Amino acid sequence: MSNLETDPREIRCARGGDEGVEVLEGRAVPLGGPRAMTVTRTLPHVHRRMIGAWCFVDAYGPEQAEMRVAPHPHTGLQTVSWLVAGEVLHRDSLGSLQVIRPGGLNLMTAGRGISHSEESRLGLLHGVQLWVALPDGHRQVAPSFEHHAELPVLSGPGFAATVFLGGLGGVRSPATAYSPLAGAEVAVDGDAELPLDPAFEHGVLLLDGEVSPLPAGPLRYLPPGRDRLRLSGHGRVLLIGGEPFAEEIVMWWNFVGRDHDEIAAFRKEWMEGDGFGTVRGYDGEPLPAPALPGVRLKPRGRTR
């Protein structure tokens, strides 16, 4: 997905009732242009830029919509595509052509550079698009793409958690991860108590239904030190987490780098070179990169 219009300064943050809990309000962002479908972006946030290595959370739907995101580049991150309803076609410059449906995972590792597009026919769409920042030792890896149609499930009283990235409660996803992570969709049916890694910070987002104590819309941040999460109700929840990311990054448009000059070089390569390859089969032109800001981009940590 394209990181268009990503100025997180308009996003509000409110402290939750529990110590250290933050309720991160999202904002509406047009995906792929002003006439495209709208997503709700809760990360990056004006206060909290990352949860573990997770650096980007877009939620969309449920709505009747057509996704059409033209070819665009990525560096230094993994894109994680997860659907609750509908289907989306992924194309990339490696030649990958893969439809994602609910319960399956599309994972694209940009590494030193890749380009891709996403599109769907008009119909019911509901899902999330997530980014994971690659740690310095792995951010120059060769680009790659994985599709996992079947994923492991952690079950307990009142819940069933499909683990799509990293690990949760001893259950591990087969997808490639480059830092300690947790990513799962949790179906809640009654009173549930999920195991958490106390070394991780976590984010929880209500996808559908009614699940206490989660409000509809915001991303709920939980600091490290918790070994369980109590939920009650009936619905589906997104759970992400990871060890606090120690490195400072620059995230601008669709790039994750380490300083202004690196980001400027990525932009120049996309506009003038061929280092990101070509997405074949998409009916339309690639997205042009926006102009760089008039000030130098500064590396930032997990929080402002």
Per residue in 76-135, pLDDT tens?
Answer: 999 999 999 999 999 999 999 999 999 999 999 999 999 999 999 999 999 999 999 999
Whether the Cβ atoms of residue 108 and residue 148 lie closer than 8 Å to each other: no
Pairing of strands 22-24, 153-156: unpaired
The pLDDT of 45-68, averaged and rounded, is: 94
pLDDT, residue 47, reads 85
- Overall average pLDDT of the 159-166 stretch: 98
pTM of the predicted model, to two decimals? 0.93
What are the structural domain ranges in the chain? 8-242
Q: How confident is the model at residue 38 (pLDDT cuts 50, 70, 90)?
A: confident
Mean pLDDT across 268-283: 97
Task: Please report the pLDDT score of residue 10 as a whole number.
Answer: 34
Q: Span 7-18, mean pLDDT?
A: 41
Topology of the domain covering 8-242? Jelly Rolls (2.60.120)
Q: What is the pLDDT of residue 11?
A: 36
pLDDT value, residue 6: 40
Coil, helix or strand at residue 284? coil
Q: Which parts of 246-300 fold into alpha helices (H)?
A: 260-272
Looking at residue 20, what is its pLDDT?
85
Q: What is the pLDDT of residue 37?
A: 77
| Angle at CA of residue 222, ends 298 and 47, nearest 5° | 30
- Residues comprising the chain, all counted: 304
Check residue 259 and report its DSSP letter: S
Give yes or no for residue 49 having a pLDDT over 90. yes
Extended strands (E) in 196-286 = 201-212, 219-222, 228-242, 250-252, 255-257
The pLDDT, as a whole number, for residue 9 is: 32
Q: What share of the chain is helix, strand, coil (3-state, %, to 5)?
A: 5, 50, 45
